[in-house]
Amino acid sequence: MFQRQSTNSFKFLNENTKDPTAEEMREYLVSQYGEYEENKFDIEAAIYWFASMHYGGQNTYLYSALSTSDYSPGAAERAPIPGGDIKYTYLLDDIVYSTNELMQLDKSKSIDSLPVPSNGNFGGGNDFDDEGDGDDGDAYWFRTRKSQLEFEKNGEVDTDDLERKMREFLKQVTKKNVYSFSYELHEEEQMEESMTDMMYGDLISKYT
């Protein structure tokens, strides 16, 4: 159903998708959410992403809405997720780093001994914590969101992408190249649905 176009967009292959103008979409969202000026950013973001993921060619109103949009997403930004995003927490274990020699991460040490930025945040909502249960040593957590992961055609998480992000993350917080590691999914948490998520979902319901 989906065909990859770029890192941030997909083309929706559905002949039943309607082709509204940007103004029609604005009027519809204003009718649902109130004054345009009060919701301008979310309205324009929802229209941009809907047009990006559903236009059927360059001679369509949706393509025109996309190409004339004042909204410009950041390089790492992904399309909204109707219903809200999901935060995944993975338990990292058996982390081996490659420096001048192979070196096992010492789980007995506090996370405070690692060179972690003071805010504990790494440009995308990833946190690095220790479980500190005292029985089997500390278990280190990698957290990431659904919208920050690439997905296979069947909607499953691309494990290569997940592991690449883990390696980048571990290198950032430890300043060491990762030789190997293992992990398991610990928990999932539904994130609060944003206004853009809701508007984007309404456009899907209205025009597809």
Task: Report pLDDT for 177.
Answer: 80
List the chain pLDDT tens, one digit each, 208 residues.
223 333 334 444 445 678 999 999 999 999 999 999 999 999 999 999 999 989 988 999 999 999 999 998 887 677 899 999 999 988 887 787 775 444 444 444 433 344 333 333 333 334 444 443 434 445 677 888 888 888 888 888 899 999 998 888 887 777 778 888 889 998 899 999 999 999 999 999 999 8
What is the pTM (predicted TM-score) of this model? 0.63
CA 53 to CA 60: how far, in whole Å? Answer: 13
CA 187 to CA 81: how far, in whole Å? Answer: 19
For residue 206, which of 1, 8, 26 has the smallest C-alpha distance?
26
Q: What amino acid occupies position 75?
A: A
Q: Residue ranges of the domains in the chain? A: 2-80+194-207, 86-190
- Both tokens of 1, joined, read 């159903």
- Both tokens of 14, joined, read 């559905």
DSSP E strand stretches across the chain:
2-4, 10-12, 86-98, 102-104, 128-130, 140-145, 177-190
Task: Report pLDDT for 139.
Answer: 60
Backbone φ and ψ for 76, nearest 5 degrees, come out as -100, 5
Backbone φ and ψ for 189, nearest 5 degrees, come out as -135, 125
For residue 32, which of 206, 191, 162, 149 has the smallest C-alpha distance?
206
Report angle CA 42, 66, 85 to the nearest 5 degrees: 40
